[in-house]
Chains A and B, each alone.
Chain A
Amino acid sequence: MLRRRSLHPAWWALAAVPVAFLGLFFLWPLLTILGRGLIVDGHLDVAGAWEVLTEPRTGKVVATTIWLALLGTVGSLLLGVPAAYALFRVRWRGQKAVRALATVPFVLPTVVVAAAFSALLRPSGLLGHFSLDQSMAAVAAALVFYNVAVVLRVVGGTWAGLDPSTVAAARVLGASRWRAFREVTLPALMPAVASAAAIVFLFCATSFGVVLVLGGTRVSTVETEIYLQVNQFLDLRAAAVLSILQLLIVGLALWVADQARKRRERATSGKRLDGTRAARRKDVPVLAAILAALGLVLLPPLYALVERSLRTASGHGFDHYAALFQQPGRSVLPVPVWEAAVNSLETAALAAAVATILGVVVAHLVTHRTRRSALLDTLVMLPLGVSAVMVGLGMLLTLNQPIFGVTIGGSWWLVAAAQAVVALPLVVRSIVPTARAIDPHLRMAASSLGASPWRVWRTVDWPLLRGTTGLALGFAFAIALGEFGATSFLARPDRPTLPTAIYRLLGRPGLENIGMAFAASVLLAIMTASVMMASERMRTQVGADL
């Protein structure tokens, strides 16, 4: 007998929405470009692909990619996990500002951050005598600078919600502080740590600008190699093979993390409560040490950034900031930088709204672990593991022609769609843990009281997800604000976003142009920090009525 429940028409009907979106703006472009590289005369070019795979250079870039990603991940965890404790578990005045500040690097344009890092690392720079210029260490340090924010977000939230009584129980049973941490706290944090590690690994493995600028000619990864093969040599076959390798690396990392998470999820699901505590006098040395380490990594590049934005021919001043509101020379930008900032805000708002709506739908669909939900989850995560160069090119190939008679190429919202594709996986990742932590009894109780599936979601899931969703919305907004890779392919020259404007400013000689580029980056940083702080506030307000 055919089992009726194996069809799940309702699930698929709802899943059709995110699948259609990703299909149009991601899968179709990606598969098109992969097909151009791998299909020769209607057949899969296996021999050609094998040739690329067995080239010594391929092995070398793969090894560099994995090694660099591991360095970046371990570094981000070593710094980020203690910092999550200091900024989320323990309460003290001013910590929200520090949290927002720590998120800023994540969305800064890579060209500018790399420039700030190189300025620090060059022989006459602040850190010049370490001779780290164009080294793996320099790239890894920049990756840590970027990704600490991810660890903070993912681990911090979980840590703040851990039941302090379990630690107390362990302590009563005679466990030392360290033992209690290792035996009780750490296992409870593991799913979050694994999640964070996977995302950071993935960002590191697909990082482009930082590797290109700070690695110079000495460090090449799969991502920079793809860029080279496409943009210089027009070798789509090599680019396609490398893209698939990159997907495999990223997929493997996600799978490992998922295994670690799955094993623990049961143990921690259930109650979410406020496990934070006010800082005490004896916490001061530990907090100070953690914050000092965090400051040591985050502050020098931010300092370099601000300093360069203020540097003028005659010393220091706010000239470059004033210039943001004037029309620069036509050769530099067609509009004043503030207009680019407005463009960015509009595009990012749309992108964040789309990503959040789709993210809530996807989170709802994957809350129950089934084979089909794992499939959807994987599809949503894919964009994180694919080179922006490939997706951007694929979009040029596919979305440029009329689709069902509708011309969408050149539309401003295409940029928002691309940004939403990039932000969606992170939105889903932020919401799913909370959705899974909702006791299924609540939904069953609501159903038995006469609530239809839609009303169950509306009256049970949504009120409990609202806070996290607000946070995810803020995160998506920040990501969309800073997105450059896909945007650079789609943004119209007369409608630059802030990151594309910064990139163009950096392409022109003259102190006023580079000064403006850095001032615009500081503006972007401030916008981002404000968005993050606002979404934090939203969470605490909602949290209060929980």
Chain B
Amino acid sequence: MTKNGAGLEVAGLRVTYPGKPPVEAVAGVDLTVVPGQIVGLLGPSGCGKSTLLSAIVGVVEPDAGSVAWDGVDVTHTPIHQRGFGLVFQDGQLFPHRTVAGNVGFGLDMAGVARAERDERIAELLEVVGLAGYGGREITELSGGQRQRVAVARSLAPRPRLLLLDEPLSALDSELRGRLATDLGQILRRYSMTAVMVTHDPREAEMVCDRVVRMRDGVLL
């Protein structure tokens, strides 16, 4: 049964890491994000917010509960078939590909035709403020530029949902402020549905429509 336009629905999600004693990183979370909404997931480090994000995207398989998109259960769908985009704090750009090679990666996977691909790359680079950077090597970029490339790359294959895990935390504070503003604008421009994990309330406010707080594995 498909509920069109229901967006992301997380229900009763639990993730336990094995160990002695086992750590319950996500202890029963319910969360709904309607299409076009940008939700900030705020909390201290170690509260389980990154694990929750990983479970939504499919990197970690939950022990209980479900993740659904538009009413379709995707809890056991492999990551590459979920159509969820992902942006990390750092270390995510492919060092062996150029800027354009990175941004076009998702399009290559989808088998998009060359002309359309190049057009889309150019468009996204312009949106993130890096027009003309396509031929550059990743090593030539600054930290802020790298994050812009990462955002462009994640948007390129038109994901249904974008998940951002502390996307600005590795940057210095001045740059962070500027990029936060830009990021909010970019996401709204594409009417993205997004969940952004952060520990910075100010940043969450600048980017997100709604902020939920998390502590000890549960939403407050």
Contact = CB atoms under 8 A, between A and B. Distances in A.
Given A442-B94, A449-B85, A464-B95, A4 B79 contact: no
A275 to B, nearest CB: 15
A447 B80 CA distance: 5
Given A449-B85, A450-B80, A450-B157, A455 B96 contact: no
A459 B91 contact: no
A538 interface: no
B207 interface: no
Interface residues of B, number: 36
A438 to B, nearest CB: 10
B153 A449 contact: yes
A453 B78 CA distance: 9
A46 to B, nearest CB: 35
A248 interface: no
Contact of A448 (B61, B79, B110): B79
B59 interface: yes
Interface residues of A, number: 26
Given A442-B91, A546-B95, A546-B96, A449 B57 contact: no
A128 to B, nearest CB: 56
Interface string B77-93: 01111111110101111
Contacts, number: 86
A451 B91 contact: no
Chain A interface SS verdict (over half): helix
A442 B95 CA distance: 9
Contact of A444 (B59, B94, B156): B59
Contacts of A450: 80-81, 83, 106, 109-110, 157
Interface in B111-140: none
Contacts of A447: 58-59, 78-80
Interface in A431-465: 439, 441-442, 444-453, 455-456, 459-460, 463-464
Given A450-B83, A450-B110, A459-B105, 8 more contacts: A439-B91, A441-B92, A442-B93, A444-B88, A446-B105, A448-B159, A450-B106, A451-B109
21 contacts: A1-B64, A3-B63, A4-B76, A441-B92, A442-B92, A442-B94, A445-B86, A445-B88, A445-B94, A447-B78, A448-B57, A449-B85, A449-B105, A449-B106, A450-B81, A450-B110, A453-B78, A455-B80, A459-B105, A464-B96, A546-B96
Interface of B: 57-59, 61, 63-64, 76, 78-86, 88, 90-96, 105-106, 108-110, 150, 153-154, 156-157, 159, 163
Closest 8 CB pairs of A and B: A449-B106, A448-B86, A450-B109, A447-B79, A439-B91, A463-B96, A441-B92, A445-B92
